[in-house]
Structure 1
Amino acid sequence: MRVERPDFLTHSHGARKASLPVPNADALAHSAALLTHIRQEIAAAGGIISFRRYMELALYTPGLGYYMAGQTRFGAAGDFVTAPEMGRVLAAVLARTLQSDPGPDGILEFGAGSGALAGQILRDLPDTPYTLLEPSPDLQARQQAAVPGIQHRQTLPEHWRGVLLAHEVLDAMPVQVLELDASGQLHECGVRWTGEALEWALLPPPVATPLAARLAPYVPHWPRPYRAEINLTAEAWLREVAARLDSGVILLIDYGHEAAEFYHPQRQTGSLRAYYRHHWLDDPFYLPGLCDLTAHVDFTALMTAAVAAGLEVAFYGNLARFLIEHGLAEVYGALCAQAGDDGIFALNNEIKRLTLPQEMGESFKVLILKKRENV
């Protein structure tokens, strides 16, 4: 969910945390309340919970989790910037891609954040039905303010004929973290309370057979220790969404890799990150409730799950390729015609950030899945 730029990088070890922006008293009290809730669950579980459960609590506890409370998350005043906050280019290319056949039900967007993407797409496709599926009451209110009259749902429809859009959603789904220890034993990682702080703990082996089998091709090549994530939540979500799609496409945009790169020996510490005020940290336990938690997406796993669920891959590639192949040149010309000199300068910078490999162009991927006929 984040534009990763060198000037935004802050590692979390040692004294460097002191250089991070200091939250106000209300924010600290909010984090303390969530920490108490997490500690109570750890105690009730016998002293340790899985990291997946910790991430779920940190992000989605009603009224306390990062996405379920009222703090500013998006844009310059928040913790990270996403493509729709930078400008209109991504939305304009998406609108161009979807305009020929959005289906009778139109577009259903999951986890629409600030509502910026929805507002921009509707600007180009004003007659297309557009619905947001958003579980957070706070974000629903913000989306309504950004896009007056937008329709909301809190649950998946039983049937959908059209477009199901998820832009930077899967990376925030709770992941299981696995670690190969120095002895070559594979563990699932958990979280415990030391009496002073949250810390990592290793759950007893063995790791569940399906997880171990999935990692078997890669484990022999890993250095020790080695840590990686598996997002079974995203795969289950995709299967459920596919079951509700009668006709149309599922369009996913997120940062991630194919499995061979995702589990490459050089990716020894995994991709899990916390984001706080435009800094990334490798400490997921820093100020729970005030930090976003995110992990890269394994697109090989998603495509495998999609095919098994009756979908076919209509497009897969990095963001730069998607934009270029789906009308970036035409979109650029149209936006230039509407912009003055200052606007063209900003537009050029936006396109650089969306397409350059050291920015979003390579790390972000686009996956378009189409419902197979006669399934």
Structure 2
Amino acid sequence: MQNPHGQRPDPAQIHLSADALAHSEKLTTRLRDQIAQAGGWMSFAQWMQQALYEPGLGYYSAGLAKLATRDTLHCPSSASGDFVTAPELSAAFGYTLAQQVAQVLREQDKPTILEFGAGSGQLAHDVLTALADQELHPHYHILEVSADLRERQQLKLAHWGTQVQWLDQLPDTFIGVVLANEVLDAMPVHLVGWTSDGTVFERGVAWGTDGFVWEDRPAGEVLANELAGKMPPLPGYLTEINLAGRAWINEVSQRLQWGIALLIDYGFPQAEYYHPQRREGTLMCHIQHRSHAQPLILPGLQDITAHVDFSAMASAAFDAGLNVLGYTSQARFLLNAGLLDILPKLDINTQRGIDKLISEAEMGELFKVLAVGRGIDSDLIGFSRGDRRHQL
């Protein structure tokens, strides 16, 4: 079956070393063997999990230059990586986010932050810098699954000494602020859709004569009920269900005794996510700053993401006993939290990229901020205007 998501990236624009191709071939062999052992078919969620996180071989588990840093962005001749995140575009992102963090930390005796997937460490550095200016010196914990990114973070954050610590697993209990910037989009998703007779199928991966191919099978009861609960039958429609994201939210919720979790990612509420016009889903891949929708090629060498269903994430948090404290666009959140007051304090280099952070045509509208928490009585400043919780 052909991939309905679009064309392959132009090979002439992507430059891969012999070592990179050999690395991908090792993961290809591993995946092919696992598909054979499973009877010839693997769910896409399992495929995505292996392609991104297989120890030593997955995209986030091996030593690849995944993330463009602020330094490389300001010096295009040395640009590297496959994608860029908001903290790398401008220090204004981290400095402004810190204003919301500070509002909560001031209510703690021992202020603490826990960041998931800290990238290059730039967001942690910027948040800590901005908080230090306010005489706040929190403990900063990082949970990072990528060994090479952890090494980059340790170099970037060496200045902060023991104030920053790395964790190998979630703590049993946590009090403070949880930060998750572009974490949910990289969690494995199930691909599901409607057949011509109105039943739900799950799209998985098989091994064909020329490599990995798509193969559809009837969806199990859980996935069938999930999709049926989100939209009416629409033959030919394909989309994603992020069960892993909901499980992660539930796990965080069970451990958060007091505080907030700020979840920042690109996505939509349910009514927009499962809109009839979005009939090919949101799955996207990133390699060398080029985007395409062919996840079955170059395993281990490209990022694979899906947009976030924020309604599902808010519902998971609510079901686990947390309060949904705010939901809005990234642009509105940053402006509410004081971006315009921070701009005059930045030099010309750190002001670069701000347009992308707040433009409706760039990250400003596509990215959303969801805040959930427990024990918080005050209104959060980041959602003082333009709160969209009614859309969830």
1:267 is matched with: 278
Quick one: distance in 2 between partners of 1:95 and 1:59?
A: 30
Distance of 1:68 and 1:229 partners within structure 2 = 24
- Check if 1:289 corresponds to 2:300: yes
Measure the CA separation in 2 of the matches of 1:255 and 1:234.
14
SS for the counterpart of 1:125 is: helix
Alignment-derived partner of residue 92 in structure 1: 95
C-alpha distance in 1 between matches for 2:216 and 2:262: 36
1:13 aligns with 2:7: yes
TM-score calculated relative to the size of structure 1: 0.90
Q: Which runs of 5+ in 1 are unaligned?
A: 1-10
Cα distance in 1, alignment partners of residues 336 and 204 from structure 2: 43
User: Taking structure 2 as the reference length, what is the TM-score of the superposition?
Assistant: 0.86
Moved over 4 A (4+): none
- Paired residue secondary structure (1:214): helix
Tell me the CA shift for residue 137 of structure 1. Answer: 1.8
Distance 1:164 1:251, change over 3 A: same
Tell me the residue number matched to 2:172: 158
SS of residue paired to 1:100? helix
Q: CA deviation at 1:333?
A: 2.4
Q: How far, CA to CA, are the matches of 1:314 and 1:215 in structure 2?
A: 26
Tell me by how many angstroms 1:218 deviates.
5.1
The one-letter code sitting in structure 2 at the alignment partner of 1:84 is P
Taking the aligned partners of 1:49 and 1:31, their CA distance within structure 2 comes to 18
Does the 8 Å contact 1:250/1:369 carry over to 2?
yes
Q: Is the 8 A contact 1:274 1:294 kept in 2?
A: yes
2:127 maps to 121
* Cα distance between partner residues in 2 of 1:301 and 1:100: 27
Per-residue Cα deviation, 1:212-263 (whole angstroms, up to 9, x for no partner):
33322554363x3111001010100111111111111111000000000000
Cα pair 1:199 1:285 within 8 Å, conserved: yes
Deviations 1:309-345 (A, max 9, x none): 111111100101101111111111222xxx2xx43xx
User: 2:328 corresponds to which residue?
Assistant: 317
Partner amino acid for 1:171?
A: D
Which residue is 1:361 aligned to?
364
Between the aligned partners of 1:66 and 1:302, the Cα distance in structure 2 is: 25
Checking the alignment, whether the CA contact within 8 Å between 1:170 and 1:234 is kept in structure 2 is: yes
Give yes or no for contact 2:67–2:82 (8 Å, CA) kept in 1: yes
Counterpart residue identity of residue 211, structure 1? L
Match of 1:252 in 2: 263
Amino acid at match of 1:147: L
* Counterpart Cα distance in 2 of 1:211 and 1:46: 20
Residue of structure 2 in register with 1:108 after alignment: 114
Q: Give the deviation of 1:22 after TM superposition.
A: 2.2
| Counterpart contact for 1:221–1:265, Cα < 8 Å | no
5 Å-filtered alignment, 1:1-375, equals 13=7, 17-75=10-68, 76-102=79-105, 103=108, 104-126=110-132, 127-148=137-158, 149=161, 150-203=164-217, 205=218, 207-216=219-228, 219-220=231-232, 222=234, 224-335=235-346, 339=347, 342-343=348-349, 347=351, 349-372=352-375
Q: Where do 5+ consecutive residues of structure 2 fail to align?
A: 69-78, 378-392
Q: Name the CA distance, whole Å, in 2 between partners of 1:236 and 1:227.
A: 22
Whole-angstrom distance in 1 between the partners of 2:375 and 2:101: 18
Rounded to whole Å, the distance in 2 between the matches of 1:12 and 1:28 is: 23
The CA deviation string for residues 287-326 of structure 1, in whole angstroms up to 9 with x for no partner, is 0100000000000001111111111111100101101111
For the residues of structure 2 that align with 1:215 and 1:97, how far apart are their CA atoms? Answer: 35
Deviation at 1:266, TM superposition (A): 0.5
Amino acid at match of 2:167: R
**Residues 1:134 and 1:88: Cα distance change in structure 2 (over 3 Å):** same
CA distance in 1, matches of 2:280, 2:366: 17
Asked whether the equivalents of residues 259 and 376 of structure 2 are also in contact (C-alpha less than 8 Å), the reply is no
How many Å apart are 1:28 and its aligned residue?
A: 0.5
Quote the offset at 1:98 in angstroms. Answer: 1.2
Q: Aligned-pair RMSD on alpha carbons? A: 1.8
Q: Are 2:192 and 2:227, in contact at CA under 8 Å, matched by a contact in 1?
A: no
CA deviations on 1:90-129 (whole Å, 9 max, x unpaired) are 1011111111332425100001111111111111124111
